[in-house]
Structure 1
Amino acid sequence: MYRDITLNDLLEQKKREPHTTIDVRSPSEFKESTIPGSINIPVFTDEERAEIGTLYKQVSKDVATKRGLEIFSAKLPTFIEEFKHIDTSMTVFCWRGGMRSKTAATVLDLMGIHANRLSGGIRTYRQWIVKELESATFKPDLFVLNGYTGSGKTILLHKLAKDGYPVIDLENLAGHRGSIFGQIGLEPNNQKKFDSLLLHEIEKVNDRPFVFIEGESKRIGKVLVHPFLYDKKENGVQIFIHLPVEERVKIILDDYDPKTSPDKFIDAFKMIKKRIHVPIANEIEIALDENNFNEAVKLLLEHYYDPRYKYSTTNEQREKNKIIQANTIDDAYGQLIELIKTF
């Protein structure tokens, strides 16, 4: 017989041994937010869930339940087979620890596959996340990477992480690069998913003496950075990366790859066009229409992003500022490593 476990039990078990959490909600629910590291083996697809929900509201609970059993019975062999490939202990969960996770755990038990069921479901987990973030403190000192748009701050974070330095990549957690073009090629996360991922990352680095982070604003795409972390960032050691505009254009083009989605770039540009001096805006529009992204990006940097960045950094704590003047991103990384040795 399967066993109901509390969230605390689950978190402790995940610390002790490899343990797989399985979200049995629909794919769209899983995409919206889940327990980090979970896999999705849904009892119902989005369409099936919608059908059952309609029957529940418009006909009756009994009719909806009967239809749900019909749908699930037809997919049982495939459902069970997916669990057979999991080689660790496991816990299934749904939204409130209700029928979907109960059905999944019961069927698995009948097939000789043991799985715990999370009591209270992901709703309990979300309540825990909110409570933890409300009382959170961030212990490490922060090295904050700043610079004009295209200065390779995210690239530097990735290089640092690869070399074993502690890093929190807020843009990655948000699924957004922070600018009006920031979601192109990405899938922006909502606040619930961001919060879960952020707390998970904080737990990994909170005992380190320092952490690298990018100098983000309070809002990144759809999400807000929590005050305890934002305030810590504002008071951290501010490192400013300066690269030639040509190098920055190259970094942006490599990152965004605008040729794969030119229409999205044009749509994003239209949102800021009125903020740019008309003759320059017309030049940018012509460049975009001609797929001359090199020229369009260069004009956007010089006439839109750079002036805005200068304004936003005038009130920084200048006594903490450290400047890295480099010709390439590799040069900047080398100087960054030498710089942190002095702390």
Structure 2
Amino acid sequence: MFQDITLEELRALKNRKQMTVIDVRSPSEFQDSTLPDSLNIPFFDDQERAEVGTLYKQVSVHAAKERGLEIVSAKLPTFIKEFGAIEGDKAVFCWRGGMRSRTTATVLSLMDIHAYRLIGGYKAYRKWVLESLDTYDFKPKSYVIHGYTGTGKTNLLHRLKNLGHPILDLEGLAGHRGSIFGQIGLHANNQKTFDALLLEELIALEPSPYVLFEAESKRIGKIVMPQFLAHQKEIGTQIWIELPMESRVQQILEDYKPEQFKEQYITAFHNIKSRIHIPIAAEIEQNLQADMFGEAVALLLEYYYDPKYEHSSNQYEDIEKIIISVNNLDEAEAAVLSYLNDVNSQNT
């Protein structure tokens, strides 16, 4: 027989042993939001779920269960085989720990495949995420990386992470670079996925004495940062990276790859075109059309992004800053490492 477990018990089990968490909801539900690192083996596909749901609402519970049994019976061998191919312990969940996960765990137990079932399903997990973020006590010291667009702040964070420093990549968690062009070439996450990924990262970073992250605006694409992170951005140690224009342009070309997504960038540019002086806006669009991306980026920085950044950075005028003026990302990495080493040596 299967065993029901709470979310707390599931997380404890995952820390002690190999555990595969399996979402048996439909593919569209899984795509919308799920537990991080879970697999999707759907009990019903989207069309089947819609059919059973319609019977449940418009006919009767009995009719919905009968039709559900017909659907599942036809694909049961394949369904069980997928679970059987997964090594180690398994835990299943559905929307709220109801029929789909209960039936799955029961059928698997009949085939001598043991599976835990998450009590409350995804709904319980989402409730835990929201409550945890709402009351989260952020304890590590914050180092907040500032810099004009194209300074390579995210790349710098990744470099520091590769060297063992604790970082929080908010743009990576959002799947969005935070600008009007920020989603192009990426898969943007929704708020539910961002919240889940963020909480898991925060828990992993709890033993760290400090955390580095970028000075993002509260909204990154369609997601919104929790208030406690916005507060950390304000009270953390402010590290400002200054790079020359040519280095920033090159960094943007490397990150955004305009030659691969030209039409998407032109379409996105139309959303901000009216906010730029008409002659400059026309020149930017001509450069984009002519594949003169470096020239277009330089104009966008000078006449759109830099003025915007200067305006938003006015709130930090009276805050102490560590200003690092360098020529490229290699020098920025070396300077930040030197600063962190100095600070850490003073604190030990």
Same fold (TM over 0.5): yes
Instruction: Give the deviation of 1:116 after TM superposition.
Output: 0.6
CA distance in 1, matches of 2:164, 2:103: 43
CA distance in 1, matches of 2:272, 2:223: 20
The amino acid that maps onto 1:182 is G
2:156 pairs with 1:156: yes
Give the conservation status (yes or no) of the 8 Å contact 1:174–1:194.
yes
CA distance in 2, matches of 1:45, 1:333: 48
Q: Which runs of 5+ in 2 are unaligned?
A: 344-348
For normalisation by structure 2, the TM-score amounts to 0.94
CA distance in 2, matches of 1:186, 1:110: 43
CA distance in 2, matches of 1:244, 1:67: 66
Alignment map for 1:1-343 (pairs within 5 Å): 1-316=1-316, 318-343=318-343
Q: What is the alpha-carbon root mean square deviation over aligned residues?
A: 1.5
1:127/1:290 Cα in 2 relative to 1: closer, same or farther (>3 Å)?
A: same
For normalisation by structure 1, the TM-score amounts to 0.96
SS of the aligned residue for 2:315 comes to: coil
Give the conservation status (yes or no) of the 8 Å contact 1:109–1:115.
yes
SS of the aligned residue for 2:165 comes to: coil
Give the conservation status (yes or no) of the 8 Å contact 1:241–1:323.
yes
CA distance in 2, matches of 1:286, 1:263: 13
SS of the aligned residue for 2:20 comes to: strand
CA distance in 2, matches of 1:287, 1:108: 60
Deviates more, 1:253-262 or 1:1-10: 253-262
SS of the aligned residue for 2:103 comes to: helix
SS of the aligned residue for 2:70 comes to: helix
CA distance in 1, matches of 2:300, 2:317: 27
SS of the aligned residue for 1:67 comes to: helix
CA distance in 2, matches of 1:298, 1:83: 53
1:39/1:83 Cα in 2 relative to 1: closer, same or farther (>3 Å)?
A: same
CA distance in 2, matches of 1:280, 1:317: 30
SS of the aligned residue for 1:212 comes to: strand
Q: Deviations over 1:67-93 (max 9, x none)?
A: 322222232232222222322212100
The amino acid that maps onto 1:42 is P
The amino acid that maps onto 1:339 is Y
The amino acid that maps onto 2:264 is K
The amino acid that maps onto 2:248 is R
Instruction: Give the deviation of 1:318 after TM superposition.
Output: 4.7
Instruction: Give the deviation of 1:317 after TM superposition.
Output: 5.3
CA distance in 1, matches of 2:79, 2:287: 51
Give the conservation status (yes or no) of the 8 Å contact 1:139–1:207.
no
Deviates more, 1:44-53 or 1:205-214: 44-53
SS of the aligned residue for 1:291 comes to: coil
Deviates more, 1:195-204 or 1:254-263: 254-263
CA distance in 1, matches of 2:338, 2:332: 10
Q: Deviations over 1:99-119 (max 9, x none)?
A: 111121112111111001111
CA distance in 2, matches of 1:85, 1:292: 52
Instruction: Give the deviation of 1:325 after TM superposition.
Output: 1.5
The size of the alignment, in residue pairs, is 343
1:20/1:70 Cα in 2 relative to 1: closer, same or farther (>3 Å)?
A: same
1:250/1:81 Cα in 2 relative to 1: closer, same or farther (>3 Å)?
A: farther
Instruction: Give the deviation of 1:162 after TM superposition.
Output: 1.2
**2:346 aligned partner:** none
Q: Deviations over 1:151-172 (max 9, x none)?
A: 1111011111111111111111
1:229/1:54 Cα in 2 relative to 1: closer, same or farther (>3 Å)?
A: same
Q: Deviations over 1:120-174 (max 9, x none)?
A: 1110111111111111110001111111111111101111111111111111111
CA distance in 2, matches of 1:55, 1:185: 40
The percent of aligned pairs where both chains have the same amino acid is: 55
Instruction: Give the deviation of 1:334 after TM superposition.
Output: 1.2
CA distance in 1, matches of 2:155, 2:198: 19
1:44/1:258 Cα in 2 relative to 1: closer, same or farther (>3 Å)?
A: farther
Q: Which runs of 5+ in 1 are unaligned?
A: none
The amino acid that maps onto 2:227 is P
CA distance in 1, matches of 2:243, 2:320: 20
CA distance in 1, matches of 2:47, 2:150: 42
The amino acid that maps onto 2:69 is L
Deviates more, 1:309-318 or 1:21-30: 309-318
